[in-house]
């Protein structure tokens, strides 16, 4: 697991610098609204356009629901990041839930173990610029997304 | 617990979502609305989402559910006022909201509802409610 994490950091954080960082605990349904507002604030500060803001917040909403539904809540890190000349928002969702046994299957459109439409993960991936997921059964799941302001 | 108000306007129900939706609130709205349709014998539902800044897959599904459920109860649903950014996001997310009637604004939505609904057989509990259809006041 630690090797995994180190590998991911190298892959994704290369050249990416973090400008601001805040973290939030998500434990219940009602936490979702303040969380979405914080993401919006962060995006507005970076002067992200309205369509990209909407895509980012929708993606965040999907992932936070997954975290609540399957992972019994967890932690979200909201970061303003930059890479070369572009700015963006990175969100990292960490839960200690059951994990996803088959990530490829979970990323398929229309697949769901719950009663939902199965759009959450694949749909989210379409809405953001960078999408990273790692999961270990019995340990938890970590999803990391980036939406660039001009992406 | 927050509650989204459902207004009755003759044979139609009017819902204006003015708050940020979360899952429980959306589920409650679905239940309330379907119950109100059945209680009031409503023929149409107009849902205004012009101030809703995001609709994700869950809320999209609830909107679709409301439309299908009210259809079974013989009521048409029109969703109005969707923000352009929300429309773009919904399609990229993979949720085309097929089966849900939409209109650009409340006015056109009401026109669409009136066109869709045959009001000849509409009978409601108007008298019991003291509802005055001939009310000529300026609003």
Is B22 an 8 Å CB contact of chain A? Answer: yes
pLDDT at A12: 53
Instruction: Answer whether residue B135 shows pLDDT above 60.
Output: no
Asked if B6 contacts B15 with a C-beta cutoff of 8 angstroms, the reply is yes
Per-residue pLDDT of A45-100, as tens digits, reads: 999 999 999 999 999 999 999 999 888 899 999 999 999 889 999 999 999 999 98
**Structure-token match 């050249």, residue found:** A15
Chain A residue with minimum CA distance to B52: A54
**What token pair was written down for A36?**
């979405």
pLDDT at A119 exceeding the cut of 90? no
User: Distance between CA B88 and CA B115 in Å, rounded?
Assistant: 28
Q: CA of B66, closest CA in chain A: separation in Å?
A: 15
Q: Are residues B41 and B12 in contact, defined by beta-carbon separation less than 8 angstroms?
A: no
Residue with the bigger pLDDT between B95 and A10: it is: B95
Selected from 3.90.1530.30, 1.20.1600.10, 3.30.750.24, 1.10.760.10, the CATH number assigned to the domain covering B6-116 reads: 3.30.750.24
What is the model's pLDDT at position A24?
95
Residues 6+ apart with CB under 8 A from A40: A53, A57, B53
- Domain map (residue ranges) of chain B: 6-116
Residue B100 confidence (pLDDT) above 80: yes
Question: Percent of chain A beyond pLDDT 70?
Answer: 89
Contact B85 A53 (CB under 8 A): yes
| Exposed/middle/buried for residue B33 (C-beta within 10 Å: 0-12, 13-18, 19+) | buried
Min Cα distance A83 → chain B (Å) is 25
Specify the pLDDT at position B123. 63
List domains and CATH numbers for chain A.
2-148 (3.30.565.10)
Using a CB-CB cut-off of 8 Å, the residues of chain A touching B23 are 29, 32, 65
Q: Which pLDDT value is given to residue B98?
A: 85
Best probe of the A interface among B93, B95, B98, B99, by most A CBs < 10 A, is B93
Predicted confidence at residue B20, as pLDDT, reads 86
Residue B132 has pLDDT above 90, yes or no: no
Mean pLDDT of B22-50: 95
How far from the centroid of its chain's Cα atoms is residue B46's Cα? 3
User: Residue B89 is nearest to which of A36, A54, A65, comparing CB atoms?
Assistant: A54
Alpha-carbon distance A29 to nearest alpha carbon in chain B (angstroms): 7
The question of ipTM being above 0.95 is answered as: no
Which residue from A32, A54, A116 is facing B53, i.e. has the nearest CB?
A: A54
When scoring B17, B89, B91 by the number of chain A Cβ atoms within 10 A, the one with the most, hence best to mutate, is: B89
B106 versus B137: which is more confidently predicted? Answer: B106
Q: State mean pLDDT over B67-77.
A: 95
Amino acid B137: pLDDT: 53
Task: Report chain A's terminal Cα–Cα distance, integer Å.
Answer: 31
Nearest to B85 among A36, A50, A62 (CB): A50
**In the predicted model, what is the mean pLDDT of residues A109-120?**
75
Find where tokens 């008298």 sit.
Answer: B127
Considering CB atoms only, which of B22, B54, B93 is closest to A29?
A: B22
**Which of these, B93, B37, B91, lies nearest to B65 by C-alpha position?**
B37
Residues of A numbered 46-75 whose beta carbons fall under 8 angstroms of chain B's beta carbons: which are they? 50-51, 53-55, 57-58, 61-62, 65
- What is the arrangement of strands in the sheet containing B44-48, beginning at the earlier edge strand? B6-9, B12-16, B44-48, B76-80, B101-103
Residue B20 CB neighbours (<10 A)? 17
State the nearest Cα–Cα gap between B64 and chain A, in angstroms.
12
Chain A residues with CB inside 8 Å of B24's CB? 29-30
Instruction: Please give the Cα distance from A120 to A151 (Å, whole number).
Output: 20
Q: Residue B113: which of B4, B5, B11, B8 has the closest Cα?
A: B11
């Amino acid at each position: 697991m630690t090797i995994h994490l180190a590998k991911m950091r190298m892959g994704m954080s290369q050249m990416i610098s973090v400008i601001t960082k805040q973290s939030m605990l998500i434990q219940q349904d009602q936490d979702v609204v303040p969380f979405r507002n914080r993401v919006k604030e962060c995006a507005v500060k970076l002067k992200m356009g309205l369509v990209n803001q909407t895509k980012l917040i929708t993606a965040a909403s999907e992932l936070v629901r997954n975290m609540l539904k399957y992972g019994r809540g967890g932690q979200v890190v909201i970061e303003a990041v930059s890479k070369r000349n572009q700015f963006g928002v990175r969100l990292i969702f960490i839960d200690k839930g059951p994990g996803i046994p088959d990530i490829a299957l979970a990323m398929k459109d229309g697949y769901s173990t719950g009663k939902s439409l199965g759009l959450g993960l694949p749909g989210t991936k379409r809405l953001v610029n960078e999408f990273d997921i790692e999961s270990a059964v019995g340990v938890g799941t970590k999803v990391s997304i980036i939406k660039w302001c001009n992406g | 617990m927050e509650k989204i108000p459902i207004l009755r306007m003759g044979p139609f129900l009017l819902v204006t979502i003015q708050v940020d939706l979360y899952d429980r609130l959306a589920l409650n709205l679905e239940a309330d609305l379907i119950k109100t349709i059945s209680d009031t014998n409503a023929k149409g539902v107009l849902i205004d989402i012009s101030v809703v800044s995001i609709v994700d897959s869950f809320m999209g599904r609830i909107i679709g559910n409301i439309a299908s459920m009210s259809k079974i109860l013989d009521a048409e649903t029109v969703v109005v006022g969707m923000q352009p950014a929300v429309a773009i996001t919904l399609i990229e997310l993979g949720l085309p909201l097929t089966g849900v009637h939409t209109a650009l604004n409340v006015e056109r939505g009401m026109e669409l509802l009136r066109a869709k609904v045959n009001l000849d057989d509409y009978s409601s509990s108007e008298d019991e409610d003291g509802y005055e259809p001939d009310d000529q006041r300026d609003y």
